[in-house]
Amino acid sequence: MRRLLFACSFTLVVAIAALALFCYQLLMVPVMPEKPVSIAIPPGTSLHKIARQLEDSGVIRNALALRLLARWEQRSGQVQAGTYRFQSAARPAEILERLIKGDVEKVSLTIPEGFTLEQIIARIAEAGYGRAEVLTQLAHDQDFIHSLQIGANSLEGYLFPETYLFAPGVDERTLLQMMTSQFRAHLDDQLLQQAKAQGLNLHQLVTLASIIEKETAAIEEMPLISSVFHNRLKRGIPLQTDPTVIYGIKDFDGNITRKDLTTPTPYNTYLIRGLPPGPICSPGLDALRAAAAPATTRYLYFVARGDGSHQFSTTLREHNAAVRRYQLHRP
């Protein structure tokens, strides 16, 4: 009897130890996939199906273990949809944590400073992240624009230039909301107060910044360019900036002519005084800051030197001399 009891006890201890070892291997020993695995989880997919897919792909050892773990932690219904990439060793608890946090595989989209709305939409469409016709419709939809708390007729200028990381499959509306949210995030109180001190509301600030962005890529020159425009605005002198004229030309061929400069459009700042009706591109943060806080100068003119920089002048005589030197290459 004693031997039988000992044998049963020994068998029980061995069974418990084997079970403990089995559970340890299932829950505590990381699993390394044989190769990187991408798994797409559509919305509404059951944890049972997800766990089975993970096991079949070699990401976890046992689907039941993941399901029991999720049930134990009362998180079975918290898994987020998306595409997940698994390529390093991980325990089931770490896998479950990623699924619940929505640590999905992300794609990248870069919008450079100075891109127009049309260029931004084309880049999104070419990358396969949205349909051009839907993006265009939304970018001019007044209800959608007002829902973003933007007082403009389109999203021109309000899609912030940046590199965006997001989950594949987001719709066009979400993508535009993301980009306008970034625009808002960069407008701190100091910037807005500086703009107000210059007599600029938000739309005027973005409009002027977009012109500065198009005039120069040299960040250090932006406050000087801004000072020229501010000085002209205060004196009622037309801005006379080519980028606005170009923006107002349909199907511009890359060559601005004298006829273009004398053709009336809402964006021809050779003919109109003040700012054009809206932005001509998406300005970056440096251009926005320059528009809100121009350098203190008496400059009224500038001309490109041909090396990426500009020559600034206070009088028309100085400006004409700079044009002869840098544009006409005459002494």
- For 258-284, give the DSSP string: HHHHHS--TT-TTTS-S--SS-SS---
The predicted pLDDT at position 18 comes to 45
239: left (phi over 0), alpha (psi -120 to 50) or beta: alpha
The reply to whether 150 and 235 lie within a common domain is: no
The predicted pLDDT at position 40 comes to 84
The predicted pLDDT at position 24 comes to 43
In a domain, 322, yes or no: no
Tokens describing residue 121: 């939409």
At 193-209, the pLDDT tens digits run 999 999 999 999 999 99
Least confident among 101-110, 150-159, 212-221: 101-110
The reply to whether 202 and 279 lie within a common domain is: yes
The predicted pLDDT at position 128 comes to 92
Domain boundary among 105, 131, 165: 105
The predicted pLDDT at position 115 comes to 98
Domain boundary among 49, 71, 105: 105
Statement: residue 9 has pLDDT above 60: no
Which is more confident, 58 or 201? 201
Whether 224 contacts 299, CB under 8 Å = yes
pTM: 0.79
Statement: residue 22 has pLDDT above 50: no
Statement: residue 232 has pLDDT above 80: yes
Buried b (16+ CB within 10 A) or exposed e, 29-40: eebebeeebebe
The reply to whether 119 and 172 lie within a common domain is: yes
The reply to whether 96 and 162 lie within a common domain is: no
Average pLDDT, the chain: 88
The reply to whether 231 and 276 lie within a common domain is: yes
The reply to whether 165 and 242 lie within a common domain is: no
* Total domains in the fold of the chain: 3
The reply to whether 133 and 222 lie within a common domain is: no
Cα–Cα distance measured from residue 27 to residue 252, given in angstroms and rounded to the nearest whole number:
64
At 88, is the pLDDT very low, low, confident or very high (cuts 50, 70, 90)? Answer: confident
The reply to whether 113 and 161 lie within a common domain is: yes
In a domain, 5, yes or no: no
Which is more confident, 165 or 103? 165
The reply to whether 159 and 130 lie within a common domain is: yes
Q: What is the Cα 239 distance to its own chain's centre?
A: 30
At 12, is the pLDDT very low, low, confident or very high (cuts 50, 70, 90)? Answer: low
Percent of the chain with pLDDT over 90: 60
Residue 38 belongs to a domain with what CATH number? 3.30.1490.480
Domain boundary among 52, 79, 105: 105
Cα–Cα distance measured from residue 181 to residue 254, given in angstroms and rounded to the nearest whole number:
33
User: What is the span of the domain harbouring residue 251?
Assistant: 198-299
The reply to whether 125 and 86 lie within a common domain is: no
Element (H, E) at 165: strand 163-166
